[in-house]
Structure 1
Amino acid sequence: MGEGKGSTLVHLLVIVLSLTAFGFSIAAERRRSTGTLHKDEATNQTYCVYQSDVATGYGVGAFLFLLSSESLLMGVTKCMCLGRPLTPGSNRAWTIIYFVSSWMTYLVASACLIAGAKKNAYHTKYRNMVLADNFSCESLRKGIFVAGAVFTVATMILNVYYYMYFTKATSQTARKTNRTSSTVGMTGHV
């Protein structure tokens, strides 16, 4: 491992897993379920017929790949809490900033992907004829999976920088300053 560079394999795995999650997110957006309104002539009730529900699987898959990427990085860095301490300085500050930022974008991306998959899996069934005028087939709003994809890419970028600064902050040796004399007098004046 080079001085402050980190493992190329970790960088590569984080990027590949995140880009796979991004691809699944885009595929989920393109394959969202939509329903068409039909009327049952025998019972005189309206109902929705939905196409395939593959977007839910893509959304869950995107979440799992994103979770794998985040888990890998947090496992390698020991979530910044355990293992070697970070050397004080600018690398430590950037590590903390990227750590917090990547977790925030990860939580937003995960929420978008899970909520999108859940909402996409929800299908309305029957309605009485009286309420049929205001009846529409429930479907996922456009853009939920796209938001998840955007935050997935943001998480990937922040994770790469987090890992880069983390390895710099853990591979540096702490500089100890030696002060021979104090410039502040500690005696009282009478």
Structure 2
Amino acid sequence: MAGSNAVLAAILLADVLAFALAIAAEQSRPSASLETDARNEWTYCVYRPDAATWLGGAALVLLLVGQAVTAAASRCFCCGAALRPSGTRGCALMLFLSSWLTFIIAEACLLAGLVQSAYHTGYRTVIFEDPPDCETVRRGTFGAGAAFALVTCVLTGTYYRCFSKARVSYQRPEAAIDMSRYS
């Protein structure tokens, strides 16, 4: 029983879009500038509107959707149909574990970037003190998420192919009484 090409296409599309959105989030990281108030008493951080939060969130959700489709299509590897004992089954198991590991790392990177991108400090200091630290997303946070999303895409697609090759539908023998003359 071969795997569905539509399922594989859906998995790869979701993961590739997650990769592209994570790259876009890395490119549109927010920046901050130091401003002073009208009376020159306070300095504060002004953040420009950023799309990184929305792009990173969409990448996070799409990566999750791709992994959910894979888990549903393969019945999460352990709850599904019997698999033919072969090297393909062993390969599918290794790819299953590897894809989940890279998925968790990618989601953690994207989530860290989201939290940093969404958090804008509101520090104010008196003008003659040290200026406030205008925190922004560290360079490479969304990029690391994008890299692991791409690795997850490759591992998940390969896992689904190996799983599909190893899947076997076993026929259970019917309980019956043999009615032939020569039993």
SS at match of 2:76: helix
Q: Which residue of structure 1 lines up, in the alignment, with residue 159 of structure 2?
A: 162
- Residue type at the aligned position of 1:35: A
- Normalized per residue, the structure richer in helix is 1
The alpha-carbon deviation at position 65 of structure 1 amounts to 0.5
**1:135 counterpart = 2:132:** yes
- Structure 2: which 5+ runs fail to align? 171-183
Q: Which residue of structure 2 lines up, in the alignment, with residue 96 of structure 1?
A: 93
Q: Which residue of structure 2 lines up, in the alignment, with residue 16 of structure 1?
A: 13
Provide the rounded CA distance (Å) in 2 between the counterparts of 1:43 and 1:87: 75
Q: Which has the larger displacement, 98-107 or 11-20?
A: 11-20
Q: Which residue of structure 1 lines up, in the alignment, with residue 105 of structure 2?
A: 108
Provide the rounded CA distance (Å) in 2 between the counterparts of 1:43 and 1:134: 13
> How many residues align structurally?
171
Contact kept? 2:44, 2:124, Cα under 8 Å? yes
Contact kept? 1:46, 1:132, Cα under 8 Å? no
The 5-angstrom pairing of residues 52-131 of structure 1 reads 52-129=49-126
Provide the rounded CA distance (Å) in 1 between the counterparts of 2:102 and 2:15: 13
Contact kept? 2:41, 2:127, Cα under 8 Å? no
Provide the rounded CA distance (Å) in 2 between the counterparts of 1:131 and 1:31: 32
- Residue type at the aligned position of 1:139: T
- Structure 1: which 5+ runs fail to align? 174-190
RMSD of aligned Cα (Å): 1.9
SS at match of 1:171: coil
Provide the rounded CA distance (Å) in 2 between the counterparts of 1:68 and 1:132: 48
The 5-angstrom pairing of residues 138-153 of structure 1 reads 138-153=135-150
CA 1:90/1:29 → structure 2, altered by over 3 Å: closer, same or farther?
Answer: same
Contact kept? 2:26, 2:141, Cα under 8 Å? yes
SS at match of 1:117: helix
The alpha-carbon deviation at position 23 of structure 1 amounts to 1.2
TM-score (norm 1): 0.84
The alpha-carbon deviation at position 136 of structure 1 amounts to 2.4
Contact kept? 1:53, 1:121, Cα under 8 Å? no
Query: Paired residue for 1:31, among 8, 21, 28?
Result: 28
- Residue type at the aligned position of 2:9: L
The alpha-carbon deviation at position 53 of structure 1 amounts to 2.6
Provide the rounded CA distance (Å) in 2 between the counterparts of 1:11 and 1:48: 46
The alpha-carbon deviation at position 43 of structure 1 amounts to 6.7
Contact kept? 2:43, 2:126, Cα under 8 Å? yes
SS at match of 2:39: coil
Percent same amino acid at aligned positions? 38
